[in-house]
Amino acid sequence: MTWSEAQAFCRKHEADLATFDNPEDHIWLMESIGDANVEFIWIGLTRSATEQWVWSEGIGVDKLYDFSTSKVDGDCIFMGPSGYWNVDDCSTQRVYVCEEYDDHGEERYILFNQSLTWRDAQSFCRLHYKDLVTVTTRAEHSQIYKLGQDHQQDKFWIGLFRDTWKWSDGSTGSFRNWYISEPNNNTSQNCVVTSKEFQHQWADEVCERRYPFVCNPKPKKKSFVVKVRISSDVNLNHLPAARDSLLQQFQSQLEKQGVTGVKVSWRAGKNEPVFQCQKDKEDGSEETGSCKEPN
């Protein structure tokens, strides 16, 4: 089928063309294909009319800084002197920073002094660690900038790049797995295939060509309630900005762990505040009640 016919077929059967949010999803694809003797397979990625700055790790659009640059400047971002972000041609060779998580789930950043193109640096980080570094908070930005200073490096690749592709099902994940020299930005190639010939990596292709395809079933929405304990000297029920900031931090940490498509929100009972004050009793148990204002 053509890409559009494949999309229509998947949607008719309560699904959509395959979306991949991380390397684990791509492993699922390879296992699904098995030993099938096919050259190319359609996936759900298609060219978008909108350009966005997104993270290699797959968490989507950059939300820390707003900036735009001309296409002629390049499509990849490096951190430069004074910590400013700069755009450059992705084929430029620079040192780079990878990220990974330790046994306790804490992020660790590693700077490598050998110079690689942005794409080669991405491949190295994905092979040996998690990915090129993602920066979602000013605290992370300061930590990564200091890492460069400690290594006497003031220009190094980070995981941000300009992207012009979107998923058929509306997912906002930015994980991409392009084959060497792909996408080649041929204006007639607006859809994407994966192929064993490309080690299951991706290439742009003419949408009217006819290939097999893979559907993803539409996930059912699930809700989870998680209780958190927060130590504070003030009543957070009276500080909506603080509550919003905490939610943003929770959302950011989920995305950093590769959890996408999740929305976090505070939950409270009818006529009850979000936060309940809790104090330890002498017998070691806990007493919960409404928060009292200090005298």
Q: Is 13 exposed, middle or buried (0-12, 13-18, 19+ CB in 10 A)?
A: exposed
3-state SS, residue 30: helix
d(C-alpha 275, C-alpha 289), whole Å: 9
pLDDT tens by residue, 214-240: 998 755 455 566 777 777 777 877 777
pLDDT tens by residue, 5-41: 999 999 999 899 999 888 888 777 777 777 777 889 9
Confidence label for 281 from pLDDT (cuts 50, 70 and 90) = low
Contact 52, 121 (CB under 8 A): no
The mean per-residue pLDDT over the stretch 76-91 comes to: 93
User: Is CATH 3.10.100.10 correct for 3-217?
Assistant: yes
The mean per-residue pLDDT over the stretch 112-119 comes to: 96
Q: Is 227 exposed, middle or buried (0-12, 13-18, 19+ CB in 10 A)?
A: exposed
Q: Of the candidates 248, 253, 277, 278, which has an alpha carbon nearest to the alpha carbon of residue 265?
A: 248
Contact 269, 276 (CB under 8 A): no
Rg, C-alpha atoms of the chain: 23
Tell me, what's the pLDDT at 5?
98
Tell me, what's the pLDDT at 234?
78
pLDDT tens by residue, 174-210: 999 999 889 987 778 999 999 877 878 899 999 999 9
How many Cα neighbours within 13 Å face the side chain of 152?
0
Q: Which residue has the tokens 């020299």?
A: 181
> Is pLDDT larger for residue 80 or for residue 260?
80
Tell me, what's the pLDDT at 31?
76
* Sequence spans of domains, the chain: 3-217, 236-289
d(C-alpha 245, C-alpha 7), whole Å: 39
Predicted TM-score (pTM) of the model is 0.70
Contact 79, 148 (CB under 8 A): yes
Q: Of the candidates 54, 56, 53, 79, which has an alpha carbon nearest to the alpha carbon of residue 67?
A: 53
Confidence label for 295 from pLDDT (cuts 50, 70 and 90) = very low
